[in-house]
Amino acid sequence: MTQHWQNQLLKCEMIRQSRSPHHRARASAMASRTVAKSAIPITNPNLPKPDSNGASKDVENSVAGTNGATGGSETTTPAVAANHPSAVTGPSEAPRLTAPKPPKNNWTSLDMGGVNIKNLPPTSGLFSFTFLATLYLNHNQLTSIPPQISRLRHLELLDLSGNQLRTIPPELGMLTMLKELYLFDNHLTTIPPELGTLHQLQTLGIEGNPIEPSLKAVVQKDGTPALIAYLRDSCPVPPLPPARQWQNVVSQQERGAAAADPNTEVVSLLCYNVLCERAATAKLYGYTPSWALTWDYRKELILAEIVGSDADFLCLQEVDVAQYEEFFLENLSQHDYDGAYWPKSRAKHMNEADKRLVDGCAIFFKKDKYTLVEKHLVEFGQIAMQRQDFKKTEDMFNRVLGKGDVAVVCMFEIKETGTRFIIANVHIHWDPQFRDVKLVQAALMVDEIDKIANRFAKYPPRPPAAGEKPAPVYSDGYKIPLIIGGDFNSTPDSGVYEYLSTGSIPPNHPDFMSHTYGKYTSEGTKHRLGLKSAYSLVPNPPTTNHTPGFQGVIDYIWYSTQNLAVNAVFGEVDRQYLEKVIGFPNAHFPSDHLCIIAEFRVKPPKDGNNATSRTQGSAVNSDSNRTR
């Protein structure tokens, strides 16, 4: 007899001795009776002291929801590593958000065992107790469990032993935090394959049931995790959700008219964190079938979604060097795309083999329509080191440096008209304990874009060909249309979102977490880019990151409102489908992020910008990445 099965039989026997009404509640009450405290308090001398800078509080607050979702040299608090949305920055296995905090309540355990309950209606108030971590319904007369039990998402122990159950609802598979599920002494003959999503389950109690011999044999030989893996990988693929629909910001007629007007320039951009191969592990995504986690499976879905969008620009995050060279560049070039790419900073310190596994940011563009003028790498750590007001700052050395996150900024011209665009792609640091770093990275990126834009505005327009209209001339960088796509790992209530959308952030903003970052924290910081999130214009922005522990918005497409207007954005995934899905990736969605797409139109210049102002500005020396 294996140790797995011995433990199962031991737990089964203990539960059979818990038949009396409210057995667990009474036992707990007995055990928690007040014991007189000693006159001299006894403390553990080995207990770590609280962090003097309030890190513990910061962890708690950030996990609660101010900021979301992914390294070699980076240090990560274990509590935080287990609680964040996805994104990857390290060569080691990257953690993911897996355990949200339950609603606050004074009690989290409920014992309804042994009280002869015969029916549990779907409308029962029990299913509103979403804070429950432990629920005992053992030794009653229940013949069924309603699907509504799936609302109790924070359950870690559920005891349904000693009832009259012949089936259990597949919806139990939604309770991904379950570690103990006791089904002893019922009439079950099989286990729904949907329970394969219970990747944290340590014990599935099946003794005392006429269970299918093949399933029982798996538990007897290899234990509960082996059975869960079998159920997960053999579960039938659910039906496809309805196709995502475009949400029009202007009317369909106006959108069609703009597309038909030869004087109206329309541009579209897709933003997508594709989940790099190194991060797509069973440890992080135990609810995903193993076959659906493989890069060979996921890459085809990713490519189909990208190509199907037919977007002018693609901002992809978590693209590793090998994937960029061997898959994305090779396949997207067949659809008239060319690209600009940089991996994260740590790649510079690795050998060639390890470097190919480092992820980074890629911008692809339609090369028949656009000319790439220049491309720039924004390395946040290096830029921070170059700032005089950041030098010799302890917080900068301890927190900002070493993260390795980057942005890529490209300057484009439309080949036919000479209209210019600046496209930026960024992957902000993931860790919610480093809300200050997220905000600093966002500010550094904006500062660099501001410099790049003003330098771009000074480049002379290309001379028009015979019969062509003169190309636009830009008096300053703010006149050039700007679009920023990226995984910002920040929710709409974060300092990052506030800074980008309002154009300023005070020096004492809570997301600086009382750390010191030069002028940012002595004077605050402002920008004049006039940014707005494209999805802020629709009533129900789609979730962009969907995992068991986090469903929310952390990816954005920002645009300059002075010279661009939104026509439409790509809509949300069907909500009924999402209600039945544990998290992504799955058979239909190849990343834990969803792609977002926005279509823009270029606004006519308000100042009569035309060829007569062409003499403004003069050419400046470009760096080695200028391709014009």
CA separation for the pair 443, 434 (Å, rounded):
14
- What is the b/e burial string over 69-96, where b = at least 16 CB atoms within 10 angstroms of the residue's CB? bbbeebebbeebbebbbbbbbbbeebbb
Q: Tokens in use for 530?
A: 């006039």
* Residue 406 φ then ψ, to 5°: -140, 165
**How far, CA to CA in Å, does 64 sit from each of 87, 151, 369?**
18, 20, 45
561: Cβ–Cβ under 8 A, 6 or more apart, which residues?
530, 531, 532
From the candidates 111, 320, 395, 487, which is the catalytic residue?
487
Is residue 408 within 8 A of residue 342, CB to CB? The reply is yes
Nearest to 67 by CA among 542, 433, 546: 433
**For tokens 């990445």, what's the residue?**
625
**How far, CA to CA in Å, does 346 sit from each of 90, 225, 379, 384?**
9, 36, 10, 16
Is residue 596 within 8 A of residue 270, CB to CB? The reply is yes
CA separation for the pair 480, 410 (Å, rounded):
12
3-state secondary structure of 112: coil
3-state secondary structure labels for all residues of 382-448 = HHHHHCCCCCCCHHHHHHHCCCCCEEEEEEEEECCCCCEEEEEEEECCCCHHHHHHHHHHHHHHHHH
524: Cβ–Cβ under 8 A, 6 or more apart, which residues?
504, 505, 506, 507, 509
**For tokens 């802020």, what's the residue?**
536
3-state secondary structure of 312: coil
Is residue 578 within 8 A of residue 245, CB to CB? The reply is no
3-state secondary structure of 318: strand
DSSP class of residue 460? Answer: P
Q: Tokens in use for 572?
A: 């949300």
3-state secondary structure labels for all residues of 56-100 = HHHHHHHHHHHCCCCCCCCCCCHHHHCCCCCCCCCCCCCCCCCCC
Sign of CA dihedral 436, 438, 444, 447: negative
Question: Could you confirm whether 487 is annotated as catalytic?
Answer: yes
List residues with catalytic annotation. 487
